Structure 1
Amino acid sequence: MLTKTIEFKTKYGQKIKVHGIPVMKNDHPHWFTVNMRLRLYLGGLHKQGPGTYSFREYLKRTLKWSEFEKIYQSEELKNNA
């Protein structure tokens, strides 16, 4: 699973970094869930202040384990490629 990192500044100049965001296509069955959770998470971070946060850990705490595994499941590579 590919993940990405977002780094931004709040309107008060505080630097916030969020890592572990899964990269998905729009037709993925869990795209909507991840997108809405990310919006809620980023909205809450403005109140917490500067720092580095893990979106993956947030999803572990908020989603059912079966849903979390489906989102972060890794595809097996053939011939170690």
Structure 2
Amino acid sequence: MPDELKLIQTKRGDTKLGFAVLFKFFQCEARFPYHKNEIPKSLIHYLAKQLFGNSDVFEQYNWTGRTISYHRTEIRNYFGFREVVNKL
């Protein structure tokens, strides 16, 4: 979709494909993957082809840290989800 592509196009390098993979996974599953191995290789290859990139760069996407946290926040905001905060 054009609005989805517009959001993804703001990313560069390995973060572009990483963001796209998280975005589409969340769109289909309504949750984020727990680890990289949970994501079907066919999805990674398909999205890389759509973005005119190499699927191998996904392995360089940092699975921890500020970038993925920011990406998750952007994706949740796009879909209107709020993060659950446990107050025990």
TM-score normalized with structure 1 length: 0.33
Name which structure has the greater RCO, CA cutoff 8 Å, separation 6+: 1
The structure where helix makes up a greater share of residues is 2
TM-score normalized with structure 2 length: 0.31
Larger radius of gyration: 1
